[in-house]
Amino acid sequence: MKKIFVLTVAFIAGFAMIASAGTITTGQTAKCNDAKSITLENSGPANTFSGKYNYSNNDRGGANVVVWKSSNFTTVPLTLGPNDNNDSVNGTDGGRTGLPVRGGMGRHKVTLVGQNNFSRGDSIGDISGLVKITNNGLNAVTVTCN
């Protein structure tokens, strides 16, 4: 009797951790099945600083997810970092290097669009079949299956 109760509770808890789409928090998983596109958006709080050294208590406002695809059984990590700046230094050198400015701020939203006819199945664009998105960061992520 105890084993059946424990298995039933584990089964219900497992379903509670999986959503079909919506906002997922740390440790939760959303899934999309045969979606034409999947939009991931950082819906966590903005970057917050505290303390003497401007310590960030929320991953600088970024969100981290892991995307698992049943089409080729691969896992791809994604980071949405709207506060991350990867501008090249030559933007502030007054043009002395002669190189164009590259880089920019990170993105708070990304859309994965399904692409057909892959010669290799390990691309992030191959979102056919079941796709599971697991939030492994501190900030919430909104998942939309289109």
Other beta carbons within 10 angstroms of residue 38's beta carbon come to 21
Residue 109, Cβ density class (10 Å: 0-12 exposed, 13-18 middle, ≥19 buried)? middle
Residue 17: pLDDT band with limits 50, 70, 90: very low
Mean pLDDT, rounded, for 81-93 = 68
- Separation of CA 128 from chain center: 18
User: Which pLDDT score is estimated for 99?
Assistant: 72
Using one digit for the tens of pLDDT, what is the confidence trace for 91-112?
Answer: 566 667 777 777 777 788 999 9
User: Which pLDDT score is estimated for 57?
Assistant: 66
- pLDDT over 60 (residue 19): no
- pLDDT over 70 (residue 16): no
Provide Rg for the chain, Cα atoms.
19
* Residue 95 CB partners (closer than 8 Å, separation 6+): none
pTM listed for this prediction: 0.69
- pLDDT over 70 (residue 6): no
Q: What is the mean pLDDT of the chain?
A: 76
Sheet with 18-19, strands from edge to edge, namely 18-19, 29-33, 130-135, 63-69, 74-80
* Residue 99 CB partners (closer than 8 Å, separation 6+): 88, 90
User: Which pLDDT score is estimated for 28?
Assistant: 97
Q: How much of the chain exceeds pLDDT 90, in percent?
A: 29
Q: How much of the chain exceeds pLDDT 70, in percent?
A: 60
Using one digit for the tens of pLDDT, what is the confidence trace for 36-49?
Answer: 999 999 986 666 66
Q: How far is the C-alpha of 74 from the C-alpha of 137, rounded, in Å?
A: 19
Span between the terminal Cα atoms of the chain, in Å: 43
Q: How far is the C-alpha of 13 from the C-alpha of 9, rounded, in Å?
A: 6
Q: How far is the C-alpha of 123 from the C-alpha of 71, rounded, in Å?
A: 10
